[in-house]
């Protein structure tokens, strides 16, 4: 039974990760920002602990990790950096506040949470960190410049931190989802969905469980010699 912390566990991919770890008998805490009802439903269904915090604020992130470690009864053994926000629009129309929100939520949050859990992992000489990036971090998306930049940043962070923490027995990897059927992609109409399916070699959108399966594997003992890797979970779309 491991102690797991997942950011953005109240919905979508994060929720599927909470369900997957809880089904394995792990002790799970997850962080969410605002949607109390969704979070309560996930907690009730899985037995996981829900922690409300806007972790784009470093002090809130620190508080959330401390609350998780108190409730889990020890330091975090597996961290899944999943929380993220999308932003669509021309770069020239983006405000400073919008840019900061995307960067703070998608990239800085991973830094805040990693920083808070690393000392416990180093002391234990083991640990797993899995970042949830995006295929846009690899290919870039028009009208999603900030989002693409933050997800590319997670790639660099993954590789650099893997080198830094490997000697301490900690692995750091990144999964890059393609189009996954969650609230983040709910705005796509049937026409857009049909085009995505046509362009995706596997012929469908991904499910949150598809991504959670990769996260679970990278967090498992079986993946103990895999680190610094970026794994696409995109049905072949970004190949």
Residue 172 corresponds to which tokens in the numbers above? 């750091």
Query: CB under 6 A: which stretch of 12-20, 70-78, 158-166, 218-226 binds ligand NAP?
Result: 12-20
Work out whether 179 is an interface residue with ligand NAP (CB under 6 A). Answer: yes
* Long-range own/partner contacts, residues 96-99 (CB < 8 A, 24 or more apart): 98/146, 99/146
Q: Is 170 helix (H, G, I), strand (E, B) or coil?
A: strand
Q: Is 30 helix (H, G, I), strand (E, B) or coil?
A: strand
Q: Total binding residues for ligand NAP by CB under 6 A?
A: 31
Spatial distance between the Cα atoms of 108 and 102, rounded to a whole number of angstroms: 9
Nearer to ligand NAP, 38 or 98 (CB): 38
Phi-psi region of 52 (alpha: psi -120 to 50; beta: other; left: phi over 0): beta
- Out of 4, 5, 6, 12, the only residue in the binding site for ligand NAP (CB under 6 A) is 12
Nearer to ligand NAP, 14 or 127 (CB): 14
Work out whether 92 is an interface residue with ligand NAP (CB under 6 A). Answer: no
Interface positions, 117-176, toward ligand NAP (CB under 6 A): 132, 134
32 carries an active-site annotation:
no
Question: What one-character DSSP code corresponds to residue 73?
Answer: T
Query: CB under 6 A: which stretch of 43-51, 70-78, 81-89, 92-100 binds ligand NAP?
Result: 81-89
Active-site position among 22, 147, 172, 218? 147
Spatial distance between the Cα atoms of 62 and 58, rounded to a whole number of angstroms: 6
User: Longest Cα pair distance anywhere in the chain, in angstroms?
Assistant: 52
Work out whether 55 is an interface residue with ligand NAP (CB under 6 A). Answer: yes
Q: Which residues lie near ligand NAP (CB under 6 A)?
A: 7-14, 31-35, 38, 54-56, 82-85, 105, 132, 134, 177, 179-180, 182-185
Active-site residue set: 147
């Amino acid at each position: 039974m491991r102690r797991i912390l997942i950011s953005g566990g109240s919905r979508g991919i994060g929720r599927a990760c909470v369900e997957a770890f809880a089904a394995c008998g792990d002790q799970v805490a997850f962080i969410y920002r605002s949607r109390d009802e969704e979070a309560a439903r996930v907690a009730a269904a899985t037995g996981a602990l829900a922690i409300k915090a806007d972790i784009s604020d470093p002090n809130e992130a620190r508080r959330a990790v401390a609350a998780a470690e108190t409730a889990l009864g020890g330091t975090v053994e597996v961290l899944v950096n999943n929380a993220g926000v999308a932003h669509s629009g021309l770069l020239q129309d983006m405000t400073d506040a919008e840019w900061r929100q995307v960067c703070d939520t998608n990239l800085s949050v991973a830094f805040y949470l990693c920083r808070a859990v690393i000392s416990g992992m180093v002391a234990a000489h083991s640990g797993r960190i899995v970042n949830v990036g995006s295929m846009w971090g690899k290919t870039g998306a028009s009208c999603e410049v900030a989002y693409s930049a933050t997800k590319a940043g997670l790639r660099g962070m993954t590789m650099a931190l893997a080198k830094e923490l490997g000697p301490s027995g900690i692995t750091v990897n990144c999964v890059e989802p393609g189009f996954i059927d969650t609230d983040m992609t709910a705005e796509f109409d049937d026409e857009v969905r049909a085009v995505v399916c046509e362009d995706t070699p596997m012929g469908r959108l991904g499910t949150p469980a598809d991504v959670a399966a990769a996260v679970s594997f990278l967090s498992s003992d079986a993946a103990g010699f895999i680190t610094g890797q970026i794994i696409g979970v995109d049905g072949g779309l970004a190949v």
